[in-house]
């Protein structure tokens, strides 16, 4: 017998949730055939079969949380088949690169684990639901709308499922949302950061009129580059002068490891929670290259298609919350990094320029840092360096020559 387990796939992933099985007990399977879809805090992946054989047992029901090492299915390879244990391990690790790739006869469905569970409880075939979220993602509301619009006699819902549905749809006092999966892991990471790192947040403002005018000019000339790409490049240049913020504190060995490269994390808000894709080696890339890669990563994050490499190894993180309307915050550092800079909403307001009052686009900045590694004066100097670059974007050209 061959046990199909949830293997250690690295990048700090230790648990996940069984979304759905793609096979049934008694079904014959081929080697490398997708068996089960698992959701982790970073991705949705299909685990392939390590051998040819017959499914004899399913150990964990759909919707259950699992940890590394948990046996999900059992395969009887038969007398004619042999199993290479090393191949099984390699296939399990390779499976994390297969992002929700379904067999040819199955429709590609983008939906969160909790949304899928709602559909199962309501007896809804989620492949029949039309998604209204980003990239056609199916939301909870889409499932409820499909249920309400369908004739009552089209589906038979078990008494247990009907009770669960009624509790969700009819309760007036509270709505129960499972605290598990990505949301739980995000909470654990935030708590670890906050209780491990002594946070200090420095606030500053920047006149972003010139950089906004520059992006508008480029757009009119057919070169669309977001202002966030300029922010990232300015941060990367400032980190070259203040490498202590591009560092990790190794308490065990009592050293501060300052990185010689800059892998920029970008906080992205998605339907399933906060995700931080990473633009690697921003010191080697132009502002246009940063813009193009950032756009691709954000889209993949919103569609839950990022692979582990695209979400790991960041040395500094930025959070561009301005488009959401934020004016200030005290952001939590992306552990184990040393700093995080947040950019807030740019607003036109009176400002004094050359002793004259004029209207400028001003933006607030929040810079949280690890006070064990750096002091306030250094954080102020680092932020001021960023402000000077972003207020006069032409200066960045000198740094790129």
> Domain spans of the chain?
2-97, 113-170, 198-400
The set of residues, in sequence order, having a beta carbon less than 8 Å from that of 373 and lying 6+ positions away, is: 244, 247, 249, 256, 338
The whole-angstrom distance between residue 225's C-alpha and the CA centroid of its chain comes to 23
Instruction: Count other Cβ atoms within 10 Å, centred on residue 261.
Output: 13
Mean pLDDT of the chain: 83
Instruction: Please name which of 296, 250, 306 lies closest in space to residue 275, comparing C-alpha atoms.
Output: 306
Residue 178 has what pLDDT? 74
Contact 122, 157 (CB under 8 A): yes
Of 71, 74, 9, whose CA–CA distance to 44 is shortest?
Answer: 9
In the prediction, which pLDDT does 11 show?
A: 54
| pLDDT class of 169 with cuts at 50, 70, 90 | low
pLDDT at 101 over 60: no
Indicate if the pLDDT at residue 156 is higher than 60: no
pTM of the model: 0.64
Mean pLDDT of 13-41: 84
**Separation between Cα atoms, residue 49 and residue 67, nearest integer Å:** 19
| 188 has pLDDT over 90 | no
> What is the Cα Rg of the chain in Å?
25
N residues, the chain: 401
With vertex at residue 217, the alpha carbon angle to CA 357 and CA 324, rounded to the nearest 5 degrees, is: 70
Q: Which helix (H) or strand (E) holds 349?
A: strand 339-353
Average pLDDT of span 306-331: 91
Neighbours of 309 (CB within 10 A): 12
Q: Which pLDDT score is estimated for 172?
A: 56
- Average pLDDT over every residue of 222-226: 93
Pick the CATH number of 198-400 from 3.40.50.300, 3.90.1150.200, 3.30.559.10, 3.40.50.2000: 3.30.559.10
The residue among 112, 109, 114 whose CA lies nearest residue 129 is 109
Catalytic member of 281, 291, 344, 371? 371
Q: What is the b/e burial string over 157-179, where b = at least 16 CB atoms within 10 angstroms of the residue's CB?
A: beeeeeebbeebeeeeeeeeeee
- Summarize the confidence of residues 53-68 as an average pLDDT: 88
Q: In the prediction, which pLDDT does 147 show?
A: 78
Question: What residue spans of 171-255 are helical by DSSP H?
Answer: 181-196, 209-220, 227-241
Q: Report whether pLDDT(35) > 50.
A: yes
How many CB atoms are located within 10 Å of the residue 329 CB?
Answer: 15
Return the pLDDT at 255. 95
Report residue 119's pLDDT band, with 50, 70 and 90 as the boundaries: confident
Distance separating alpha carbons of residues 219 and 57, to the nearest angstrom: 58
Averaged pLDDT for residues 190-196 = 89
pLDDT band at 335 (very low <50, low <70, confident <90, very high): very high
pLDDT of residue 145: 82
Q: Higher confidence at residue 87 or residue 142? A: 142
Q: Mean of the pLDDT values across residues 251-256?
A: 91
At residue 95, does pLDDT exceed 50? no
Instruction: Tell me the C-alpha distance between 70 and 224, whole Å.
Output: 48
Q: What is the pLDDT of residue 96?
A: 43
- The reply to whether 198-400 shares the fold of 113-170 is no
| Cis, peptide link before residue 355, omega less than 30° from 0 | no
Asked if CATH classification 4.10.320.10 holds for the domain at 113-170, the reply, yes or no, is yes
Whole-number Å distance between alpha carbons of 21 and 62: 7
Within 303-344, residue ranges assigned H as helices are none
Tokens representing 383?
């932020």
State the pLDDT confidence band at 10, using cuts at 50, 70 and 90: low
- In words, the CATH class of domain 2-97 is mainly beta
What pLDDT, on the 0 to 100 scale, is given for residue 57?
A: 92
Task: Identify whether 371 is a catalytic site residue.
Answer: yes
Q: H or E element: which one contains 279?
A: strand 278-279
The predicted-structure confidence for 77-87, as pLDDT tens digits, reads as follows 875 444 444 44
Q: What is the mean pLDDT of residues 86-107?
A: 46
């Amino acid at each position: 017998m061959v046990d199909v387990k949830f293997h250690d796939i690295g990048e700090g992933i230790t648990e996940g949730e069984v979304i759905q099985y793609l096979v049934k007990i008694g079904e014959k399977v081929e080697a490398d055939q997708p068996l089960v879809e698992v959701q982790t805090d970073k991705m949705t992946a299909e685990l392939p079969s390590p051998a040819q054989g017959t499914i004899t047992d399913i150990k964990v029901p759909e919707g259950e949380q699992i940890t590394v090492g948990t046996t999900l299915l059992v395969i009887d390879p038969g007398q004619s088949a042999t199993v290479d244990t090393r191949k099984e391990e390699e296939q399990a690790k390779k499976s994390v690169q297969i992002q929700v790739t379904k067999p040819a006869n199955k429709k590609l469905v983008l939906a969160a684990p909790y949304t899928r569970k709602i559909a199962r409880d309501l007896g809804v075939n989620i492949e029949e639901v039309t998604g209204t979220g980003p990239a056609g993602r199916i939301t909870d509301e889409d499932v409820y709308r499909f249920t309400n619009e369908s004739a009552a006699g089209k589906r038979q819902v078990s008494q247990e499922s009907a009770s669960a549905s009624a509790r969700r749809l009819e309760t007036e006092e509270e709505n129960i949302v499972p605290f598990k999966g990505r949301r739980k892991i995000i909470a654990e990471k935030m708590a670890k950061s906050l209780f491990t790192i002594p946070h200090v947040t420095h606030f500053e403002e920047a006149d972003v009129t010139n950089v906004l005018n520059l992006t508008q000019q480029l757009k009119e000339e057919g070169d669309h580059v977001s202002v966030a790409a300029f922010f990232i490049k300015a941060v990367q240049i400032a980190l070259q002068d203040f490498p202590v913020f591009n560092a990790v504190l190794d308490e065990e060995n009592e050293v501060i490891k300052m990185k010689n490269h800059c892998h920029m994390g970008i906080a992205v808000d998605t339907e399933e929670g906060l995700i931080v894709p990473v633009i690697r080696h921003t010191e080697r890339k132009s502002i246009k290259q940063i813009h193009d890669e950032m756009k691709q990563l954000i889209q993949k994050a919103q569609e839950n298609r990022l692979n582990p490499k695209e979400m790991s190894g960041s040395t500094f993180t930025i959070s561009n919350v301005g488009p959401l309307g934020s004016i200030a915050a005290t952001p939590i550092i992306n552990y184990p990094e040393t700093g995080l800079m947040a950019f807030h909403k740019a607003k036109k307001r009176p400002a004094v320029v050359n002793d004259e009052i004029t209207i400028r686009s001003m933006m607030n900045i929040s810079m949280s840092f690890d006070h064990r590694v750096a002091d306030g004066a250094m954080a102020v100097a680092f932020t001021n360096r960023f402000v000077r670059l972003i207020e006069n974007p032409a200066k960045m050209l000198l740094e790129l020559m």
